[in-house]
Chain A
Amino acid sequence: MQRSELHRRLERIDDVSWRIPRAARDDMRVDGVVYADDALIAALGDDPALDQVANVATLPGIQGASLAMPDIHWGYGFCIGGVAATDPAEGGVVSPGGVGYDINCGVRLLRTDLDEHDLDGRLERLIEALLAHVPTGVGRSGPYHFERRELLALMREGVPFLRRRGLADDDDVAHCESGGCIEDARPELVSGLALERGADQCGTVGSGNHFVEVLVVDRVADAAVAAAFGLAQGQVCVLIHSGSRGLGYQVCDDALRALRGVPARYGIDLPDRQLACAPVDSEEGQHYLGAMRAAANYAFCNRQLIAQQVREVFERVFARPWQRLGLELVYDVAHNIAKLEPHQVDGVEKLLCVHRKGATRAFPAGHAEVPAAYRAVGQPVMVPGDMGRASWVLVGAPAAMARSFGTTCHGAGRALSRKAALKAAKGRDVRSELAARGVIARASSRRGLDEEQPDAYKDVDLVVDVVHRAGLSTRVARLRPLGVIKG
């Protein structure tokens, strides 16, 4: 891959944001804006991610700027941490490359009534039981199998479908982004192959960077907001990271095939085939959006069913029903998605197609999309870090609406490639190193732990510091990992 020359063209806007000027390339329609401090920009070096920010700036109908969050790194199509809003009324496009293969990959946070001392002598058993009970890793299917008719209903209705089956409660629905169901999903447009790939994977974690983690709140940064989210110092929580599994991957793949030749038909010249796209209002664009929403609803259900299995494990280990352990959903949020949302652009309200690829919605207090329980404080945002250091809970902030279409970061962002991480792990025992730091890590493969070792990621505290200072979202609580299961 060609390394980016664009780092030389970066212009500082302020302490936490940088501009790639539109003039840097002939084909950019808008500027690129990267949220990062000096250290994160320096760490980015000549990573091709900046080229990807510029590539996205060429998309028809793009509004404002092509954005990147501080966890930016090289992806395919969009960079990871990429955000772009297009206006359908101005020929704006939707691109599967702005969502990625893992449609509605996201995170959910469960709280508990337990504190760290309640885990004394039981943590290892809890983590081992999670590994045994919750399917993780390559090729694992889950205990839930849905017939075709059921799968179609699940993709149309999302988490409310599971509520009808007794697999979710009212709070599980209310505390999901979009109530666990993105409207106008069209499961009938999801291919037979995608249905086959998804039939027995709903309720499975998968591998790569997906996980189930047990954590403790080790610092409360905003007591009032933390209290509104039901979080307090010393409290045990569970963080779940997964997406739409094989079903979503296939929906994206089908879309990319269907879009072969389509950009040229609409006179769209693309710098990267992975940015294949169609006007939002075209038949091809609507087809993708309908199938993508169906896959997104599948992903909400996947995380709900993982949460149900986590609840079953806690019930067994603590010999109490999960309701008496307070194992309630704080929030579930997507970080790979495209959604139609109203936003102000130069003082005019427009209905935009907002792509978030490795970026999280972060709506402020008072926004109608924030669940009633949190509307006075703002939408919860979960930012997983790495399994050795920390993760964060943030809250959406007003400036995000003007600066980033209501968006913030989604994680720490990788610092090392998987290959470099494996090399760095040679001769070491990552599992023992984590144990020495007080983290019990279990994975279905040793390689999984080596590739995902803490050093493979940027320091999440630094990433969160940028979004806090930029006003995209503000700190609520820092969570320290106690144990994790991975693929």
Chain B
Amino acid sequence: MPWQVTDHTADMALRIEASTEAALFEEAARALTSLFVDDPATIEPREEFGFELRAADRDDLLFDWLQTLVVAFELRHMLLRCFRVTLEAGGLHASAQGERFDPARHRLAHEVKAITYHGLAIRASHDGWRAEVIVDV
């Protein structure tokens, strides 16, 4: 699996791997969604949403991207999948498809409070890109 939830004593740690940096951002979004709902496959792609973010570096951009998804869920109750991310100098464009939380079909897993900077770093590996993100739940 290109991502996994690993052990962290109090919170949740996500370990993400991908062949490209843009794919790393997409996988990170999928990993985060798995903390919102027990089964992300229950999310239906009923609406499409667009995102544009700017940040000073890629670590900040990953932090902002994931935090944007946390807020979209908490405030708009949006559950998303089918992430497409395009990275460019100083920012990203992204799209995602999804729908509003429906208690009849979605079983919520965690209340994600925030994304943390603790240990957050995007690293090039021999076969692609890796990142580790600790999520406060």
Q: How far is the CA of A139 from the CA of B74 in the complex (A)?
A: 6
Closest A-chain residue to B67, C-beta based? A253
Kindly state whether residue B10 has any CB partner on chain A within 8 Å: yes
Interface check A47, CB cutoff 8 A: yes
User: Digit string of A250-268 for contact with B (CB within 8 Å is 1, else 0)?
Assistant: 1011001100110000000
**Is B10 touching A75 in the complex (CB atoms < 8 A)?**
yes
Q: Which residues of B sit under 8 angstroms from A322, Cβ to Cβ?
A: none
Taking the closest CB of chain A, its distance from the CB of B104, in whole angstroms, is 14
How far, in Å, is B85 (CB) from chain A's closest CB? Answer: 20
When A1-B132, A246-B74, A487-B111 are in contact, do A274 and B116 touch as well, CB less than 8 Å?
A: yes
**Which residues of the partner chain B approach A76 to less than 8 Å between Cβ atoms?**
11, 116-119, 134, 136
* Contact pick for A73, options B10, B71, B107, CB 8 Å: B10
A468 at the B interface (CB under 8 A): no
A residues less than 8 Å from B41 (CB atoms): none
CA of A1 to CA of B6, assembled, Å: 10
* B101 contacts A by Cβ under 8 Å: yes
A397 to chain B, nearest CB (A): 27
Contact A417–B8 (Cβ < 8 Å): yes
A3, chain B: closest CB distance, angstroms: 11
Structural contact, A208 and B111, CB atoms closer than 8 A? yes
Cβ A417 vs Cβ B7 within 8 A = yes
Q: How many residues of B contact A (CB 8 A)?
A: 37
Q: What is the CB-to-nearest-CB distance from A298 to chain B, in angstroms, rounded to a whole number?
A: 15
- Which residue in B5, B9, B114 is a CB contact (below 8 Å) of A47? B9
- Asked if A323 is an interface residue, CB under 8 A from chain B, the answer is no
Closest Cβ of chain B: how far from A335's Cβ, in Å? 13
Cβ–Cβ contact A101 & B136, under 8 A:
yes
Residues of chain A with a CB closer than 8 A to B111's CB: 137-139, 206-208, 487
Given known pairs A1-B119, A139-B74, A193-B71, the reply for A102 and B108 (CB within 8 Å) is no
Which residues on B sit within 8 Å (CB–CB) of A253? 67, 114
Contacting residues, chain B, for A102 (C-beta < 8 A): 113, 136
Chain A residues whose C-beta falls within 8 Å of the C-beta of B134 in the assembled complex: 76
Q: How far is the CB of A442 from chain B (nearest CB, A)?
A: 16
**Chain B: minimal CB distance from A108 (Å):** 20
**B130: shortest Cβ distance to chain A, in Å?**
13
- With a cutoff of 8 Å between Cβ atoms, the chain A residues found around residue B74 in the complex are 139, 197, 246
Residues in chain B near residue A80, CB distance under 8 A: 9-10
Contact A196 B56 (CB under 8 A): no
| Complex-state Cα separation, A102 to B136, whole angstroms | 9
**A324 at the A/B interface (Cβ < 8 Å)?**
no
Inter-subunit contact A139/B77 (CB<8 Å): yes
Residues of chain A from 281 to 333 with CB closer than 8 A to chain B in the complex = none
Q: A1-B13, A101-B116, A138-B109 are in contact. List 15 more A-B contacts (CB 8 A).
A: A74-B9, A76-B119, A76-B134, A80-B10, A101-B136, A137-B108, A139-B73, A196-B75, A208-B110, A246-B75, A246-B113, A261-B56, A417-B8, A417-B9, A487-B111
18 contacts between A and B (CB under 8 A): A73-B10, A75-B11, A76-B118, A77-B118, A102-B136, A138-B109, A139-B74, A139-B77, A139-B111, A193-B71, A206-B111, A208-B137, A249-B113, A257-B64, A274-B118, A276-B117, A419-B12, A445-B108
